[in-house]
Amino acid sequence: MEQRFRAQFVNSLPGLKTPFLVGTQNSQGATNLAIVSSVTHLGSSPALMSMVMRPNTVERHTIENLKENGFYTFNAVDINSIAKAHQTSARYPRDISEFKACGFNEIWEPDFEAPFVKESVLQIGLKLVQILHLEINGCDLVIGEIVIVKAPFQSLSDDGSINIDQLDLASVSGLDRYHKSQKVMRLSYAKPDLKPLVIDK
């Protein structure tokens, strides 16, 4: 199977994923922004999220920065920012920040050493906990603890869940096919002796 065809095919298999812009800063204060679609939640207590970073066969500014700094941000991509967010995957030189090159603005929080994306409606600040190197393919599983979350108050449900469909966030399949997310329904907690009930449409 031809390499590019194989990459597109295999990357499409998991279906829809949520793209995030990862904001980092190196020890010299230079910022970096990169789109990833491998973000997952690893647990709520402690609150952990992970992402998979590709092998370091070429310069990987994101993982190099977070190794130096220990802080990074996840910034959800809304449907109006798709093209700009996608452009951050281009291989810019280290001395060019994707924030400026791709039309995003940095925003900072006190005592947190990584930039957030001002335009993002869902911003998550993380502190690096662990990097697991995967010998099978050379990728790195980056695990961070959530220390900051910024989201519109009206998107928060009484039970603590976030109504993602209210945020107009993008989804991505494969490497470059973007979608608009739409909620179908919300179901009750599953129990062996009860059929699930629709609790919200």
What's the pTM value of the predicted model, to 2 decimals?
0.93
> 84 with 104: CB under 8 angstroms?
yes
The angle at the Cα of 156, spanning 150 to 158, to the nearest 5 degrees, equals 140
In this structure, what CATH number is given to the domain that contains residue 133? 2.30.110.10
Position 165 scores a pLDDT of 86
Report the number of distinct structural domains present in the chain.
Answer: 1
pLDDT of residue 58: 58
Cα–Cα separations (whole angstroms), residue 10 to 25, 160, 177: 31, 34, 14
How far is the C-alpha of 157 from the C-alpha of 153, rounded, in Å? 9
Q: How far apart are the first and last CA of the chain?
A: 43
> What CA–CA distance (Å, rounded) separates 86 from 181?
17
Domain that holds residue 64: 3-200
pLDDT of the chain along its 201 residues, tens only?
Answer: 788 899 889 989 999 999 999 999 999 999 999 999 999 999 999 999 999 998 876 568 899 999 999 999 999 999 999 999 999 999 999 999 999 999 999 999 999 999 999 999 999 999 999 999 999 999 999 999 999 999 999 899 888 999 888 899 999 999 999 999 888 889 999 999 999 999 876
The pLDDT value recorded for residue 57 is 60
- Per-residue pLDDT, 65: 94
Q: Phi and psi at residue 19, in whole multiples of 5°?
A: -80, 140
Measured CA to CA in angstroms, residue 3 lies from 7, 104, 138 at distances of: 6, 32, 17
In contact, 113 and 157? CB cutoff 8 Å: no
Question: Do residues 133 and 140 make contact, with C-beta atoms less than 8 angstroms apart?
Answer: yes
SS3 sequence of 126-166:
EEEEEEEECCCCCCEEEEEEEEEEECCHHHECCCCCECHHH
